[in-house]
Structure 1
Amino acid sequence: MLKKLVALPLVIASFAFMSAAHADHHGMKKDIVDVAVENGSFTTLVAAVQAGGLVDTLKSKGPFTVFAPTDDAFAKLPKGTVEMLLKPENKDQLVAVLTYHVVPGNVMAADAMKVDSATTVQGQNLAINTTDGKVMINDATVVMADVKASNGVIHVIDTVLLPK
């Protein structure tokens, strides 16, 4: 059902996420949205970014640090949550959730591990903890860090972050 909501063509990439961030045939890196679309593991996130009207923002100069939940992370939410957030009347709530995943600037994992919190574009803070070699953002585990894009960096997480 969510795939019908996605207006951009989604390429199911058979290559690693990191390769999506490498230079394209014009020698320019792809922006955060292009990297997410090409990867194929972020169809729900891309649909949400589109429904929230944030595509142009995340394609702009930035830089942005995005904690990007995978489709599996969205699937862990209570049934009906994603569909409810994607309704036009819930756009403000959707934008709040999405911007809670974005930190201004280009924060690489090594820098994030030196602090215990970061203020999001949404305005609230994210807790950052390192335990047993794992980096945690609130209750989400970073499963892949430092995926570079032309306008920032993506850290892939296994859980959707919800503002308080």
Structure 2
Amino acid sequence: MAASNSIAENIAGSPNHKMLHGTLQAAGLVERLGGDGEYTVFAPTDAAFVQIPPVTREGWMLPAQKQVLHAILNHHVVPGRIDSAELERLVDAGDGAAILKTLDGRDLWIRRSGASYILTSGSGNKAVITEADLAQKNGVVHIVDAVLIPAT
């Protein structure tokens, strides 16, 4: 990922984020992540998407499920640029855990476990940050190993 490109451009060009790119297109979020504003994206890899049953993944792509897909993807985006140093500061200030507000205003919990940072979604599923601090011209991307599902 090139720091001179937008989040949307880098995800589109990433060989490990084809499914994320496709879902961003289906949900109509490419423009937002390619434009102005700064965002922190917890980007699930293709391997993370494969953990979701195929019938569920395919269902998300249907026009009738656009709002569901939109909510899922927004659960991976936090307004502002939050790098690993800031994540560490937030977690330390919260005695080992912090709450981040996602793009749609929902809570996303983050805590430290050893040297790793673990995100917990509103529905309770977890994702580990596997690669941090990928600088983008409009924010930062942290790679995660699971798709975070918001509470319904």
Superposition TM-score, scaled by structure 1 size: 0.82
Choose between structure 1 and 2 for higher RCO, CA contacts under 8 A separated by at least 6 residues.
2
**RMSD, aligned α-carbons:** 0.9
Counterpart position of 1:21: 2
Greater than 4 Å deviation, 4+ residue runs = none
Q: Which amino acid aligns with 1:161?
A: L
**Residue among 43, 50, 57 paired with 2:18:** 43
Counterpart position of 1:129: 111
Q: Which amino acid aligns with 1:31?
A: S
The size of the alignment, in residue pairs, is 139
2:83–2:133: 8 Å Cα contact kept in structure 1? yes
Tell me the percent identity. Answer: 35
Superposition TM-score, scaled by structure 2 size: 0.88
**Residue among 119, 131, 134 paired with 1:144:** 131
Mapping of residues 7-156 of structure 1, within 5 Å:
20-22=1-3, 29-115=4-90, 116-138=98-120, 139-156=126-143
| Partner SS, residue 54 of structure 2 | coil
1:63–1:105: 8 Å Cα contact kept in structure 2? yes
| Partner SS, residue 113 of structure 1 | helix
| Partner SS, residue 80 of structure 1 | helix
Q: Please list the CA deviations of residues 116-138 of structure 1 after superposition, one character each: whole Å capped at 9, or x if unmatched.
A: 11000122111101111001111
Q: Which amino acid aligns with 1:119?
A: K
